[in-house]
Structure 1
Amino acid sequence: MLKPKYPSLDTPPDTSTAPLSDGTQSTVPAPAAAPAPVPATPAMGLRLTPAGLAVVAAGGAGLVLVVGAVLVSMLLAVAITGISVTVCAVVLRLLVKDLHKR
């Protein structure tokens, strides 16, 4: 009575009836699995018209120009900062040298 009954490994489980909490089988059939969804249209690749291709090419060229301008401006800012730090260092060195002479 307290020993569970396991099906043998070579027999598939019975899915036609569901077990109840008291160990008996119900007569209600188990729900059937839902079928896999079927796509309405076959998957197609991206198709571009000549006008669409021109728009994509222009957008890509514009993006390259904007990114290039940003990178050049950042490089210019670093160069100007480096030059100004160098000039400040030279001026400070001359001032310190002049203080030591007096």
Structure 2
Amino acid sequence: MLRPKVPTNPTPTGHLTPAAVVEPTTVIQQQPMAPAPAPAPARPTVQLTPGTALALVGGGTAVVLVVGAVLVSMLLAVAITGASVAVCAVVLRSLLASEAKRR
């Protein structure tokens, strides 16, 4: 029902189309056009003064220091949590082992 119908390809008969006739055309020389004027910038360019550059460097340094401090504090929190879980595991193991010896 939903099968596509594939067209059958008849065997080639040997008929060829005649070769197209190429006729020469004339070449028309055009005058060289003057270069188009450069378009005006859509927005004014930003000029950095030494004070502005110094402010950008200071701001970037502050951002890097703040992000670094946050990442280091997160790493420290993970390390402290891991150490405290390990200590809790050792204490529980010790308590369970001493309970087993008493019985």
1:27-66 → structure 2 map (5 Å cutoff): 42-66=42-66
For 1:9, the equivalent position in structure 2 comes to none
Alpha-carbon distance in structure 1 between the residues aligned to 2:98 and 2:76: 33
Q: Which has the larger radius of gyration?
A: 2
For 2:94, the equivalent position in structure 1 comes to 94
Alignment identity in percent?
58
Q: TM-score, normalised by structure 2?
A: 0.57
Shift of 1:70: 0.5
Q: Secondary structure at the match of 1:44?
A: coil
For 1:68, the equivalent position in structure 2 comes to 68
Taking only aligned residues, the RMSD between alpha carbons, in angstroms, comes to 1.6
**AA aligned opposite 2:98:** D
Shift of 1:46: 2.1
**AA aligned opposite 2:86:** T
Alpha-carbon distance in structure 1 between the residues aligned to 2:97 and 2:42: 81
Structure 1: which 4+ aligned runs deviate by more than 3 Å?
none
Q: TM-score, normalised by structure 1?
A: 0.58
Structure 1, unaligned stretches of length 5 or more?
Answer: 1-40
Q: Of the two structures, which has the highest relative contact order with CA contacts closer than 8 Å and spacing of 6 or more?
A: 1
Aligned residues: 63
Shift of 1:42: 4.1
Shift of 1:89: 0.1
Alpha-carbon distance in structure 2 between the residues aligned to 1:95 and 1:89: 10
